[in-house]
Amino acid sequence: MNSPRLMDALWTVGTRDLLAALRHRADLLTTLVFFAIVASLFPLGVGSDTALLRLMGPGVVWVAALLASMLALTRLFASDYGDGTLEQLALSPHPLTLLVLAKTGAHWLASGLPLVIIAPLLGLQFDLNADAQLVLLASLLLGTPTLSLIGAVGAALTLGVRGGGALLSLLVLPLYVPVLIFGAGAVEASAAGLDAGAHLSLLGALLLVALVFAPWATAVSVRIAVE
Amino acid sequence: MTINWFRYSSPASFYPIAGALIPWFFSGAALLTIAGLYISFFIAPTDAQQGEAYRIIFIHVPAAWMSMFIYVVMAAWAGIGLAFNTRLSSMAASALAPTGAMMTFIALWTGSLWGKPMWGTWWVWDARLTSELILLFLYFGFMSLQAAIDDPRRADKAGAVIALVGVINVPIIYFSVKWWNTLHQGASVSLTRSPTMANTMLIGMLVMALAFWMYSIAVMLMRLRSIILERERNSDWVKTLKKQPS
Amino acid sequence: MLAIKNIECVRGERRLFSDLSFEAASHTLLEVRGPNGSGKTSLLRNLCGLLPPAAGIIEWRGNNIHMFADEYRSELAFLGHLSGVKDELTASENLRMSSVAAGLGASPDQIHAALVHFGLRDFRDSLCKALSQGQRRRVALARLCLSAARSLWILDEPFTALDAAALVVIKDLLESHLETGGTVVLTTHQEVAIAARVTRRVDLGQ
């Protein structure tokens, strides 16, 4: 298979998902509202003490982003699995690893990137300073693609399985721990006036590791699902 | 010389071998446990700083070792099953998971029991305990995924993928939790890094670890036999087995 | 040539078939028959490589299809129970995107011609969720118009939900594919007479 055709196929698979997401804007909105609600629940639970909220802010925004991105994961393969598109992809002569990578990329653009963009608004609720806000943006920008990549494995594994949604969270959330630690850690460090560079480098390293392993595992899982 | 390994990898021929091995591993486990407990309670000296309460490490540390070791072995068997389509290795992975989860739980429980007299709280967010907790979630994920899939072949393969993804992640999780722990200056419940660690303590822990190992193999083989019977219940050899008085 | 050698299929606890062997060369129409639950769909999924058989091997041009999966897939067109048609896209978007993803060339002219061929001229820019069951099936079948270069067509119940006009179109399409040296494997419950140089039947569930 020559490479222009492959690029064409990857581009088409990505744009197909973006187009479908665009025509289902309500889903995107649900994810964003969920993100905002989860983050807003914490002050209601622990009280409105500004000093405490400032301390908790980075962690809360990151946990909320993580949960929201997990909520969106079920949409990554479910409709393709239901209407037979996924088995057609599995039968494409193009490498399935790259096809699912294109799908994951489109999914991140449609559900991860909007989270990153509205995160500073939630940061304001927790009184993060300007530097911390910038680091929050950078950490989410580096971290949420990793969440989508790891989550794609779980989403493919739970296709057509009983209790898929709850099972997906059980599979995926423990794997999200390092991203959460370095992501929230970066913002905390910056809020405390320290350098967040090390955290961000580690987030970048996690993204690279996920880019190498996750699409492969996702492709294997998709093949298992369409058997 | 060529050995036909595949002869032993068929469930039908492995079933009787496993049956013959189980008593040996169980007796080994029993003897080593007696020896290990004797060392830990009567030979190992009282710790200067921690008093008698430290003796829980003779359970805690071997359990923690086994919990991680079993996860790696489980992922390896599952991976072999996925790569070579050998049913027995996938079954072995499924048979190991509950034992691994139990070891993880014991490590968490004894860690918490130890924390109460030492730190005055049942739970501290120490790096090791937190990693063990996440490991427990990984075991639960593996078992729940396999339980949720009806087709055994699909369950084997899906379990293998999540076990392999988990095994790549375990060191990353451990490292990140450690980093997080040092940054937040959490309580450090280092059970093993006691300066007064005597040789007899180390020997006690090693003997107990061997005992746990034997026990894990024995229980794994028993569970493996049940899995083989369950999956092969419609096959001819199980039907003839049923007719024989045991 | 597609060669099936002693394959066995197990789904869950049930052995659907075992020791099944047959061959299909070019110009051959292979009809898979059998009652519901006899494993027709599973056999077709075995043949296209989605479902590895529990035992036995499947060869295409003398190569095991699981060893030479990419080569095999570039000569294969499969249509399953599920059409692979997305509700959120229009008929022409669906056809273009599914063809490109499958590695087929799909120029706007070809897409247009294929949709017209299946009587979807007036629906090419309608979202597929607005189409009827039969019309969606036609969108899926239209991909076969672009798959002429793929030698092996594997079709699971291609005639369901189609009206008489669409039946004629698909019948002609299959006949011309067979005439030009293609191989067609299909399952059907309907009696549709398709002219082929060689017609073979595989009966499951006996």
CB contact under 8 A, C89 and A16: yes
Measured CA to CA, the distance from residue A156 to residue A73 in angstroms comes to: 10
Q: What is the pLDDT of residue A158?
A: 94
C residues 67..96 contacting A (CB < 8 A): 70-71, 73-74, 76, 78, 80-89, 93, 96
| Contact of C184 with C177, CB cutoff 8 Å | yes
Tell me how close the Cα of C26 comes to any Cα of chain A, in angstroms: 21
| β-pairing verdict for C2-11 and C55-60 | antiparallel
Which candidate from B145, B173, B179 shows the least CB-CB separation from A157?
Answer: B145
Which candidate from C50, C85, C101 shows the least CB-CB separation from A92?
Answer: C101
B residues 70..99 contacting A (CB < 8 A): 82
User: Higher model confidence: residue A212 or residue B125?
Assistant: A212
Kindly indicate whether the ipTM for this predicted assembly is greater than 0.95, answering yes or no: no
Confidence check: pLDDT of B188 > 70? no
Query: What confidence category does residue C83 fall into, taking pLDDT thresholds of 50, 70 and 90?
Result: confident
Cβ-Cβ contacts under 8 Å, C52 against chain B: 85
Q: What is the pLDDT of residue B1?
A: 41
- Percent of the residues in chain C that have a pLDDT greater than 90, as a whole number: 46
Cβ-Cβ contacts under 8 Å, B90 against chain A: none
Query: What confidence category does residue B187 fall into, taking pLDDT thresholds of 50, 70 and 90?
Result: very low
Tens-place pLDDT, residues B31-62? 999 999 888 888 877 776 677 777 888 899 89
- Residue C183, SS3 per DSSP: strand
Measured CA to CA, the distance from residue B27 to residue B39 in angstroms comes to: 18
- Percent of the residues in chain C that have a pLDDT greater than 70, as a whole number: 100
CB contact under 8 A, C11 and B150: no
Q: Looking at residues B158-168, what average pLDDT do you find?
A: 94
Q: How far apart are the first and last CA of chain C?
A: 26
Tens-place pLDDT, residues A120-144? 999 998 888 888 999 999 999 999 9
Confidence check: pLDDT of A49 > 60? yes
Tell me how close the Cα of A146 comes to any Cα of chain B, in angstroms: 13
State the chains in contact with B (3 or more Cβ–Cβ pairs under 8 Å): A, C
CB contact under 8 A, B234 and C13: yes
User: Higher model confidence: residue B117 or residue A73?
Assistant: A73
Q: Please indicate if any CB of chain A lies within 8 Å of the CB of B179.
A: yes
Tens-place pLDDT, residues C41-70? 999 999 999 998 888 999 999 999 999 998
Query: What confidence category does residue B193 fall into, taking pLDDT thresholds of 50, 70 and 90?
Result: low
Phi, psi of C55 (to 5 degrees): -155, 160
Tens-place pLDDT, residues A177-197? 999 999 999 998 888 888 888
Measured CA to CA, the distance from residue C185 to residue C22 in angstroms comes to: 12
Q: What is the pLDDT of residue B245?
A: 63
| Contact of C188 with C38, CB cutoff 8 Å | no
Cβ-Cβ contacts under 8 Å, C10 against chain B: 153
The average confidence (pLDDT) of chain C is 89
Tens-place pLDDT, residues B125-145? 878 888 899 999 999 999 999
CB atoms < 10 A from the CB of B6, how many?
A: 10
Exposure letters A147-156 (e unless 16+ CB within 10 A, then b): bbbbbbbbbb
* Domain spans, chain A: 2-226
CB contact under 8 A, B234 and C11: no
Q: Looking at residues B83-90, what average pLDDT do you find?
A: 88
Which candidate from A170, A173, A217 shows the least CB-CB separation from B161?
Answer: A217
Confidence check: pLDDT of A1 > 50? no
Return the closest-CA partner of residue C52 out of A99, B154, B145.
B154
The residues with which C184 forms a beta bridge, in sequence order, are C29, C153
- C75 burial (CB, 10 Å; 0-12 / 13-18 / 19+) is middle
Q: What is the pLDDT of residue A10?
A: 93
CB atoms < 10 A from the CB of A47, how many?
A: 9
Q: Please indicate if any CB of chain A lies within 8 Å of the CB of C119.
A: no
Query: What confidence category does residue A145 fall into, taking pLDDT thresholds of 50, 70 and 90?
Result: very high
Which candidate from A24, A87, A99 shows the least CB-CB separation from C80?
Answer: A87
DSSP string, A79-134: HHHHHTHHHHHHTSSS-HHHHHHHHHHHHIIIIIHHHHHHHHHHHHHTT--HHHHH
User: C-alpha distances in angstroms, C186 versus A151, B79, B223, C79, C201?
Assistant: 37, 36, 44, 9, 10
Tell me how close the Cα of C67 comes to any Cα of chain B, in angstroms: 13
Query: What confidence category does residue B189 fall into, taking pLDDT thresholds of 50, 70 and 90?
Result: very low
User: C-alpha distances in angstroms, C26 versus B169, C71, C179?
Assistant: 49, 17, 9
**Residues in chain C whose beta carbon is closer than 8 A to a beta carbon of chain B?**
10-13, 52
Tens-place pLDDT, residues A11-31? 999 999 999 999 888 888 999
